[in-house]
Amino acid sequence: MTGPVFPQSRPRRLRRTPALRRLVADVRVDPADLVLPVFVKEGITEASPIVSMPGVVQHTRDSLKKAAYEAVEAGVGGLILFGIPAVKDARGSGADHPDGIVQLAVRDLIAEVGDATVVMTDLCLDEYTDHGHCGLLTPDGDVDNDATLERYASAALAQARAGVHVVAPSGMMDGQVAAIRAALDGEGFTQLPILAYSAKYASAFYGPFRDAAECAPQFGDRSSYQQDAGRSAEEGVREALLDIAEGADAVMVKPALAYLDVLRAVAGAVDVPVAAYQVSGEYAMVEAAAANGWIDRRRIILETLTGVRRAGAGMVLTYWATEAAQWLAEDGRA
């Protein structure tokens, strides 16, 4: 016999031409959905490359403004700021100091591009603590959940007073969204949204970020607060629902590539915007393979972004945001 068993069924009909494929595509990547994570370091005079993330730098306040301007020109929907203080201590004092590096950089960005994009801040302590953990420690070296909540609330207020548009708590303490919401509301920041890193897994994919933010834990790891990869996607859904109940306005799944099932499940279970974070290790793997000439860099980047969108992300945090937005503007689609 020749031809398909069911001759009426020929899925290839709609794949024949680029125009047909474009017409029937229902998953798109729009520059406006991309969020660029940026690092700003206190006390440096020149942007400093991050070896494990080729193309990504620790910015000075000035080079950050330039990068933000470029991102906005390319149509990127938002920026998320990570600060690296010159001095770290046990309580992460830089996180809530009014002149802490992130607060200063927020003021810069709001003045520079504040009307044209969304300026967000990562809200955590690990970039600011000398021990590298996301919270305060008990004398025996545990991360103290409830004492940490007070520090998060204080950092949220410092970021709010600097004028940030969205705060994004990433520390995975229980009750962090409620604590931050209460603090913000208590000072009249009732309109400031919270994008919660809700389903955040303890992941080796964060390795290069820890070079970028100089925040590798000095002992132990983050497995007692970040989620375990071996738990099924429902736990991610539960975390997202808890955060929404505590007042989260949008939720995030992180990392993206190895957790697309969690992303799908969360997107199906919630009615708030869902973000996914394509993290540093995902970036580094593609860049390393591309540098070796083993993969088609541009196609792979756009394919991964499409995959993350298809799994259910409305927004994608990605270090390729500006470049991908520029490509999308050229081509019209991924």
Catalogue the active-site residues. 200, 254
Q: Which has the closest alpha carbon to 118: 127, 128, 130, 109?
A: 109
* Helix intervals (H) in 201-250: 207-212, 233-246
Among 128, 189, 209, 327, binds ligand PBG (CB under 6 A): 209
> Restricting to residues 83-122, which ones interact with ligand PBG according to CB under 6 A?
122
Residue 33 or 127: the one with the smaller Cβ distance to ligand PBG is 127
By Cβ distance, which residue is nearest to ligand PBG? 209
The answer to whether the Cα torsion of 57, 58, 60, 62 is positive or negative is positive
Among 103, 121, 159, 170, binds ligand PBG (CB under 6 A): 170
Contact criterion met (CB below 8 Å) for 127 and 83: yes
By the rule CB under 6 A, 58 interacts with ligand PBG: no
Q: How far is the CB of 317 from ligand PBG (least distance, A)?
A: 8
Can you give the length of the chain in residues?
A: 334
What Cα–Cα distance (Å) separates residue 277 from each residue in 86, 161, 308?
26, 26, 9
Residue 189 or 206: the one with the smaller Cβ distance to ligand PBG is 206
What Cα–Cα distance (Å) separates residue 39 from each residue in 25, 52, 83, 143?
35, 14, 6, 25
Among 40, 72, 120, 279, binds ligand PBG (CB under 6 A): 279
Residue 126 or 323: the one with the smaller Cβ distance to ligand PBG is 126
CB atoms within 10 A of CB 147: 14
Q: How far is the CB of 77 from ligand PBG (least distance, A)?
A: 18
Residue numbers at the binding site for ligand PBG (CB under 6 A): 122, 124, 126-127, 170, 206, 209, 222, 279-280
